[in-house]
Amino acid sequence: MQLCMLRSSCSRISCSTWETQNMAFSSQILTLSKTPCCRPRRPNCRWKILLSCQSTLFTAQYALLQNQQVAKDKQQEQLTAAFEALLQDHEHLGMLHEHQSEDSLKTFHRILELEHKALGERHEDMLKHKAELEELEKVLNTKQEAMQQEQRTNTITTDENQRLWES
């Protein structure tokens, strides 16, 4: 009966501590069986002694379960504290990532502004160069027209000279 009760209470205990508890209960049973209260002197007190031993055993078992509950509560507190610390670390890392992202975006924005400025200056230089080329084209067109006019004049003059030589 004692073993059955021990087993039912031990089934609620985690597997990792079950063997340790089993050894503790076994040593308690041995200790109680060696004590004078557990050795029957008279057959009539056998039940009283058995109940007394069971009571002592259950008291020890209850104390052990209380200690386990305290240890479990402490472990739960530690896990809660660790979880809260992890949450704080997560928030801190999130803020750090956000800050780094902002810095990265600011740097990228500055780079784009510099490229925009350089491209704007290059565009202005190209517009100036285009205006110079257009001006040069006008001058060349004017010179070409003057040369064509001069060539026509030369052709007319050459034709007249040749007519004069032939006449």
Mean pLDDT of the chain: 82
Looking at residue 53, its pLDDT comes to: 86
Per-residue pLDDT tens over the stretch 40-71: 455 556 778 888 888 899 999 999 999 999 99
pLDDT given for residue 11 in this prediction: 42
Residue 42: strand, helix, or coil: coil
In a domain, 93, yes or no: yes
Predicted pLDDT at 17: 56
The answer to whether the CB of 21 falls within 8 A of the CB of 64 is: yes
Residue 144, CA atoms < 13 Å, CB-side half-sphere: 6
d(CA 128, CA 49): 116
User: Which pLDDT does position 5 carry in this prediction?
Assistant: 38
Residue 9, pLDDT score: 40
Please give the tally of structural domains in the chain: 1
Q: How many residues does the chain have?
A: 167
Q: Would 145 be classed as within a structural domain? A: no
Domain hosting residue 96, numbered range:
2-105
pLDDT (tens digit per residue) in 72-118: 999 999 999 999 999 999 999 999 999 999 999 999 999 999 999 99
Cα 145 from chain centroid?
Answer: 74
The pLDDT value given to residue 15? 45
Q: In which band, very low, low, confident or very high, does the pLDDT at 166 lie, cut at 50, 70 and 90?
A: confident
